[in-house]
Amino acid sequence: MQKKVIDEAKIEEAVHMILEAIGEDPEREGLQNTPKRVARMYREIFAGMNSNPREFLQVSFTEFHDELVLVKDIPLYSMCEHHLLPFYGKAHVAYIPRGGKVVGISKLTRVAEAYAMRPQLQERLTSQIADCINDSLKPFGVAVVIEAEHMCMTMRGVRKPGALTVTSAVRGIFETRPETRAEVFSLINQKI
């Protein structure tokens, strides 16, 4: 994977121009360092541009477990590529291991986080996580559900705070066996 350079100087220049364009004075005390702060923030929140989430799944452990593994309520933060405003919520990631190999559960959260730290669409993000796990681990099945609130719908446009967008991606046995899909969705919705 070729590393993408995050050009902080260019971001600073762009933010300076945006501040001028909205009628602000970029030199006033409260805004003087805003372009630098935004550039550093973008380097941090878009760090997924320079990561290969498949690398997280390269280390597995021998464990003959061919039943559902579900990590629920993974906090998720991303930036909508349409308005560069955040969307946030939680991801639920499930897989059914095959061949006596399991992966550390923290690695599933790292995959979700790495894909989220890019300009995104929720629909694409959901599929990318599912495809990465499916292609890397070759499990019996993968299911990913994301529930998120989009600030582009809360702060602007229709202005509907609290509205959640729910997306799902199922692969393998979750796609072909309705009872297996129903089991994982039931567990995701179950309150403990």
Structural domain boundaries in the chain: 8-45, 59-189
Catalytic-labelled residue, pool 20, 27, 58, 82: 82
Catalytic-labelled residue, pool 120, 122, 132, 147: 122
Q: How does residue 93 score in pLDDT terms, banded at 50, 70 and 90?
A: very high
Per the CATH hierarchy, to which homologous superfamily does domain 8-45 belong? GTP cyclohydrolase I, N-terminal domain (1.10.286.10)
pLDDT tens figures, 118-134: 999 999 999 999 999 99
Instruction: Please give the C-alpha separations between residue 181 and each of 68, 85, 89, 104, 147, in angstroms, as whole numbers.
Output: 11, 32, 22, 23, 17
Is 83 annotated in the active site?
yes
pLDDT over 90 at 108, yes or no: yes
Q: Rounded to 5 degrees, what angle do the CA atoms 188, 133, 192 make?
A: 15
Is 150 annotated in the active site?
yes
Listed in sequence order, the DSSP H helices in the chain are 8-21, 34-45, 105-116, 122-137, 151-154, 173-176, 178-189
pLDDT of residue 145: 98
Contacts of 101 (CB under 8 A, 6+ apart): 60, 61, 62, 63, 137
Is 152 annotated in the active site?
yes
pLDDT of residue 60: 92
In the chain, % of residues over pLDDT 70 = 99
142 neighbors 95 (Cβ within 8 angstroms): yes
Residue 89 corresponds to which amino acid? G
Distance CA 133, CA 190 (A): 23
* CATH for the stretch 59-189: 3.30.1130.10
Catalytic-labelled residue, pool 8, 83, 149, 183: 83
pLDDT tens figures, 166-183: 999 999 999 999 999 999
Determine if residue 152 is labeled as part of a ligand binding site.
Answer: yes
Instruction: Please give the C-alpha separations between residue 27 and each of 23, 31, 33, in angstroms, as whole numbers.
Output: 12, 6, 9
Report CA dihedral (146, 147, 151, 155) to the nearest 10 degrees.
160
Catalytic-labelled residue, pool 55, 152, 175, 183: 152
Q: How does residue 5 score in pLDDT terms, banded at 50, 70 and 90?
A: confident
Could you tell me the two tokens for 147? 């529930």
Is 81 annotated in the active site?
yes
Determine if residue 132 is labeled as part of a ligand binding site.
Answer: no
